[in-house]
């Protein structure tokens, strides 16, 4: 266990140090992409025992609960109050349309994990939209659409055990909220850490999505408390966690690479998404091309080498294309 922990810690440390470089520079399409971490992960896969890499999945699940919670607490009371019916409806339409389209396409040749692929491909990149200063309507709708996609995917993948999430996560949120006034920030962090550890292990054993459950945990807590207690610490964690996932995906490089030609055939239909997104949100279609960080998280959760490799290649490719088009047409 110590060996695995050391490797996980090293990955975390590399991601932490790299996040300053990756997210603070000002050049090229690789800006924000984290491609370096993926490449380091690939190189790492050649020098590390495969058993250690597969054992890292427990840490990925824990990381996903942190990511999910961090995403959930962004839906605080103020933000939720401002959500319009139109945003909610468009988000639903956007997510459902693409989830179904990719699900049907998946039937053509990707019977295993097709719901995971649908989730990944139908999630927009909120951080990309936010980074280029896209209007609030598109950003908020995209954020909500990710939640819908998580819901669709979870029900399809895990069936009715997903309902456990709706019982369990609010309980976790209530526990945290209940002690909020009595405890200081450090103590709250300890309680949250413990609850997220429990949530990650329960999601693995009861069969539900750690991302969705921890999102709901964060969401209910943010609604109850409207406190900013965790926002700052999670802001600092988000980027290193995302880079760690890219590293992990790189380390799982291998069998997925050989199945790539088959998987890449899915990329072409993926181009339909920006067209529809652009039409729906009256924005430039190219903004809806990139795969989001949550897509990367879903891929890492699948623990399938081919899904991870496919996702990350599509992620870099779409990011590159959208950057090129953005420079050419959006000046």
Binding region for another protein (CB under 8 A) out of 116-124, 192-200, 271-279, 298-306: 192-200
Cα of 66 vs its chain's centroid, Å: 11
Q: Does 20 bind another protein (CB under 8 A)?
A: yes
Over the Cα atoms of the chain, what is R_g? 19
Q: Does 204 bind another protein (CB under 8 A)?
A: yes
Q: Does 190 bind another protein (CB under 8 A)?
A: yes
Q: Return d(Cα 206, Cα 191) in angstroms, integer.
A: 22
DSSP string, 77-134: HHHHHH--HHHHHHHHHHHHHHHHHHHHHHHTT--TTHHHHHHHHH---HHHHHHTT-
Total residues at interface with another protein (CB under 8 A): 35
Task: Give the other-Cβ count within 10 Å of 179's Cβ.
Answer: 12
Where are the alpha helices (H) located in 226-271, listed in sequence order? 231-251, 255-258, 260-264, 267-270
| Per-residue binder mask for another protein (CB under 8 A), 22-61, x = binder | ---------------------------------x-xx--x
Q: Return d(Cα 290, Cα 4) in angstroms, integer.
A: 32
Binding region for another protein (CB under 8 A) out of 5-13, 75-83, 253-261, 315-323: 5-13
Q: Does 6 bind another protein (CB under 8 A)?
A: yes
Between 68 and 295, whose beta carbon lies closer to another protein?
Answer: 68
Contacts 24+ apart (CB under 8 A), 76-82: 76/222, 76/223, 76/226, 77/222, 77/223, 77/226, 78/226, 79/140, 80/223, 82/140
CB of 154 to another protein, least distance (A): 19
CB of 295 to another protein, least distance (A): 25
Binding region for another protein (CB under 8 A) out of 16-24, 216-224, 256-264, 271-279: 16-24
Between 146 and 196, whose beta carbon lies closer to another protein?
Answer: 196
Site residues for another protein per CB under 8 A: 1-2, 5-6, 9-10, 12-13, 16-17, 20, 55, 57-58, 61-62, 179, 182, 186-187, 189-191, 193-198, 200-202, 204-206
């Amino acid at each position: 266990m110590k060996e695995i922990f050391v490797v996980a810690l090293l990955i975390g440390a590399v991601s932490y140090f790299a996040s300053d470089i990756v997210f603070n520079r000002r050049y090229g399409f690789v800006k924000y992409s984290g491609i370096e971490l993926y490449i380091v992960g690939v190189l790492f896969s050649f020098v590390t025992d495969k058993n250690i890499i597969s054992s890292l999945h427990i840490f990925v699940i824990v990381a996903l609960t942190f990511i999910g919670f961090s995403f959930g607490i962004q839906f605080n009371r103020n933000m939720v109050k401002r959500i319009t019916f139109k945003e909610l409806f468009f988000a639903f339409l956007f997510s459902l349309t693409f989830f179904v389209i990719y699900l049907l396409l998946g039937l053509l040749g990707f019977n295993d994990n097709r719901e995971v692929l649908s989730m990944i491909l139908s999630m927009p990149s909120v951080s990309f939209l936010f980074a280029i200063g896209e209007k609030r309507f598109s950003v908020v709708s995209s954020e909500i659409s990710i939640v819908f996609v998580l819901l669709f995917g979870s029900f399809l993948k895990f069936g009715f055990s997903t309902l456990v999430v709706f019982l369990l996560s609010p309980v976790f949120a209530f526990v945290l909220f209940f002690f909020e006034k009595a405890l200081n920030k450090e103590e709250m962090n300890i309680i949250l850490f413990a609850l997220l550890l429990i949530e990650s292990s329960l999601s693995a054993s009861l069969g539900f999505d750690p991302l969705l459950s921890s999102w709901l945990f964060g969401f209910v807590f943010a609604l109850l408390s409207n406190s900013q207690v965790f926002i700052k610490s999670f802001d600092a964690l988000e980027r290193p966690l995302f880079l760690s996932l890219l590293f992990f995906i790189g380390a799982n490089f291998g069998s997925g690479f050989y199945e790539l030609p088959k998987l890449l055939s899915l990329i072409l239909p993926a181009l339909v998404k920006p067209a529809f997104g652009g039409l729906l949100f009256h924005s430039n279609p190219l903004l809806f091309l990139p795969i989001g960080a949550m897509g990367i998280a879903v891929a890492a959760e699948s623990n399938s080498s081919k899904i991870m490799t496919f996702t990350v290649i599509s992620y870099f490719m779409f990011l590159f294309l959208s950057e090129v088009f953005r420079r050419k047409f959006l000046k």
